[in-house]
Amino acid sequence: MTETEECWFSHEKLEVYRESLSFAAWLSNLLDGAVRFGDVKDQLDRASTSILLNIAEGNGKYTPKDRCRFFDIAHGSALECAAGLDILVAKSKFSSAQIRSGKENLQRIVRLLMGLIKRNSSREYERQSSDPA
């Protein structure tokens, strides 16, 4: 979906949704025609789908707590995708260079989801040592 395309639902306007859709397309292209990698290929497909579905469902919820629950699940699925890509590199199915753009995309997705989670949650978050002060 490009920014000039018509949006039918509010979740389609979210940058994180568009980034996640882009990641799902990238992953599909990467894995299309590739031999089965055990359960990793299927799990990556499910996790990338889960990101999108949970963003859409969460964005449609009325209370911040309900929205946050679905954004949390999407966040977990994005991290699962990152680990799945690492597994494919560890098993020499792809090189680090081949998955780099996917990892960069996932990093943006995680950052955007954390923003949505923080906006919809009263939880306290500790600053990680890698966060700039």
**pLDDT for the residue 126:** 54
pLDDT at 128: 54
pLDDT one digit per residue (tens) for the chain, 133 residues? 445 567 788 898 999 999 999 999 999 999 987 776 778 989 999 999 999 999 999 999 999 899 999 999 999 999 999 999 999 999 999 999 999 999 999 999 999 999 999 988 777 655 555 555 4
DSSP assignment of 110-126: HHHHHHHHHHT-----P
Going by C-beta distance under 8 Å and a sequence separation of 6 or more, which residues neighbour residue 96?
89
Predicted confidence at residue 34, as pLDDT, reads 73
Q: What is the pTM (predicted TM-score) of this model?
A: 0.85
Q: Which CATH architecture has domain 12-119?
A: Up-down Bundle (1.20)
Domain boundaries, the chain: 12-119
User: What pLDDT is attached to residue 5?
Assistant: 66
Beta carbons of 56 and 18 less than 8 angstroms apart: no
